[in-house]
Amino acid sequence: MKLFNLDHSPYATRVRIQIKHGQLPLAVEAPPVQLRTPEFVAQFPYGKIPILQLDDGSHLADSWVIMEYLESCFADSGLLPADALERARMQTLARCADTCLGPGAVFPMFAAVAKRDNAVTLVENMDAELQRLDHVLAGQGDVTARSLHLGDVALAPHLSYLLLLAPLFGADDALGGYDAVSAWWQWVNTDAAVAEELGVMQQAAAAFFKK
Ligand SMILES: N[C@@H](CCC(=O)N[C@@H](CS)C(=O)NCC(=O)O)C(=O)O
């Protein structure tokens, strides 16, 4: 199996964290054709990175689908809790990333990097999403008492992107006052695979912004 990856992609970064965390035997490569070209869509109809190429040459798209599949293939990688409630909490963090923090805060800022306009609204929206996430995490109890799961792995790259972007819009201390998010963020970064792959993503993203 092979992962088609771009280092600056928060979605691909999730899967790279999973691969590193579980030491999964997968090649990680740049896509063979350029993203956002007709050639890419012809080969990969979902049109997005990451893509998992299976040994029979077929492909799976979407980071969450890929991560669940990899967890099924390599059951010992340990990122899926056995307990039903813990799984629901894991899903909640992944949903927070994909349906709230991403579309509500990260991607609007990403889209505005070149112009740097609309900062007040962007920061207000960011605060609304961070407040939501803070309540969610506070309701899940002491994170340090549990193991890392796929929900953490899905959320960490989105929050990392937000912390890279927020200062560009005047929010230097984006997590100030969000105690549960701050505690979770500190804790998730103690995982070596998380810290290492977020570093790779941040470096690639910084270079990407300078383009
Ligand atoms: N839901 C998808 C989103 C993937 C995604 O949006 N990837 C971006 C790179 S960060 C992409 O390929 N964008 C190309 C495009 O939208 O044209 C997932 O979880 O994998």
Q: What's the CATH number where 13 sits?
A: 3.40.30.10
What would the pLDDT profile of 12-39 be if each residue is shown by its tens digit?
999 999 999 999 999 999 999 999 999 9
Any idea what DSSP says for residue 62?
Answer: S
Query: Which region holds residue 12: left if phi is over 0, alpha if psi is between -120 and 50, else beta?
Result: alpha
**For residue 116, is it left (φ>0), alpha (ψ between -120 and 50) or beta?**
left
In a shared domain, residues 174 and 103: yes
State residue 118's pLDDT score: 92
Of the candidates 87, 10, 93, the one whose C-alpha atom is nearest the C-alpha of residue 48 is: 10
Residues 36-71 have pLDDT tens digits of: 999 999 999 999 999 999 999 999 999 999 999 999
Task: Tell me how far apart the alpha carbons of residues 39 and 71 are, in angstroms, rounded to a whole number.
Answer: 30
State pTM to two decimals.
Answer: 0.96
Ligand 1 near 34 CB (within 6 A)? no
Judge if the beta carbon of residue 127 lies within 6 A of ligand 1.
no
Q: Report the alpha-carbon distance of residue 113 to residue 134 in Å, rounded.
A: 25
* 14 and 106 together in one domain: no
Does 180 contact ligand 1 (Cβ within 6 A)? no
Burial of 126-165, coded b for 16+ CB within 10 Å and e otherwise, reads bbebbebbbebbeebeebeebebbbbbbbbbbbbbbbbbb
**Are residue 195 and residue 124 in the same domain, yes or no?**
yes
Atom nearest to 61 CA in ligand 1: 20
The verdict on 93 and 122 lying in the same domain is: yes
Question: For residue range 79-116, what is the model confidence (pLDDT) as tens digits?
Answer: 999 999 999 999 999 999 999 999 999 999 999 998 88
Query: Residue 101: which domain range?
Result: 84-210
Rounded to the nearest angstrom, the distance between the alpha carbon of 179 and the centre of ligand 1 is 30
Query: In this structure, what CATH number is given to the domain that contains residue 193?
Result: 1.20.1050
Q: How far is the CA of 4 from the centre of ligand 1 (A)?
A: 12
Same domain, 106 and 199: yes
Residues 114 and 202 in one domain: yes
Say yes or no to pLDDT of 4 above 90.
Answer: yes
Which pLDDT value is given to residue 211?
62
Closest residue (by CA) to atom 15 of ligand 1? 48
- Give yes or no: residues 100 and 152 share one domain: yes
Q: Report the Cα 73 to chain-centroid distance in Å.
A: 21
Q: Are strands 2-4 and 59-61 parallel, antiparallel or unpaired?
A: unpaired
Our answer on whether the CB atom of 112 is closer than 6 Å to any ligand 1 atom is no
Show which of 52, 77, 102 is a domain's final residue: 77
Same domain, yes or no, for 105 and 193? yes
Q: Same domain for 124 and 183?
A: yes
Residue 101 in contact with residue 158, Cβ under 8 Å? Answer: yes
Q: Is 13 in the pocket of ligand 1 (CB under 6 A)?
A: no
Amino acid at 19: I
Which residue, of 77, 100, 127, is where some domain finishes? 77
Supply angle C-alpha 136, 138, 101, rounded to 5.
Answer: 35
Alpha carbon of 196 to those of 16, 99, 112, 153: distances in Å?
10, 25, 27, 12
Last residue of a domain, one of 44, 77, 110: 77
Kindly state if the Cβ of 44 falls inside 6 Å of ligand 1. Answer: no
Q: Identify whether residues 18 and 112 lie together within a single domain.
A: no
Structural domains of the chain, count: 2
